[in-house]
Amino acid sequence: MEGEAILDLSVLRLGHRVDRDKRMTSHLGLTARAFGANRVILSGDNDKTPLETWKSVTARFGGDFECRYESKPMSWLKSFSKSGGKIVHLTMYGKPWNESICDIPQNGDIVIVVGGTKVPGELFGIADYNVAIGNQPHSEVAALAVFLNTYLGPVDAENFAGGEVSVLPSEDGKILLTNDDR
């Protein structure tokens, strides 16, 4: 529809710790990509490994997914908010997701913040939405997947065009198609 704002969705991994969070952060970015985010932003320890993983998977399996490092995430979030972007903070202390998800705009610039270490208390104040998938300790990857699947709905396979390979769904095993097979 003409004049309709487009949704631009980022996921900010707040407080990545290279010694502790390698796999979790890697999986968080892969989940963001697979469930429809436009980009993932890494903060905390400046670790190139997850960035390389996300770029490699995107090249291999397609899509238009960006990733980068942010050295000053709280300053970046404040600037993002001042420019009109909306901040969604996934936290087990927030309002239940099924009560708050319909209030979150479906267009414009949105960033979903997922913590690794203890998040600064000021994040609760600058976030437009503090959202809980559950009020018990759980995986931030699971919380992101539940949130994105509910917020965006199923992701169309066309979102992952241009890769070296694609997966052909099958009940009988793994089927990968290469560019030569398509």
Q: What per-residue confidence (pLDDT) applies to 1?
A: 44
- At 3 the pLDDT is 54
Looking at residue 117, what is its pLDDT? 77
Distance of alpha carbon 40 from its chain centroid, rounded? 6
Confidence of residue 2 (pLDDT cuts 50, 70, 90): low
| pLDDT-based confidence at residue 4 (cuts at 50, 70, 90) | low
Least confident span in 1-5, 133-137, 177-181: 1-5
CA distances from 173 to 28, 151, 168 (A): 26, 30, 10
Domains plus CATH for the chain? Answer: 7-178 (3.40.1280.10)
Alpha-carbon distance of 164 to 179, in angstroms, equals 6
Query: Which whole number is the average pLDDT over 38-44?
Result: 96
**Mean per-residue pLDDT, 128-151:** 94
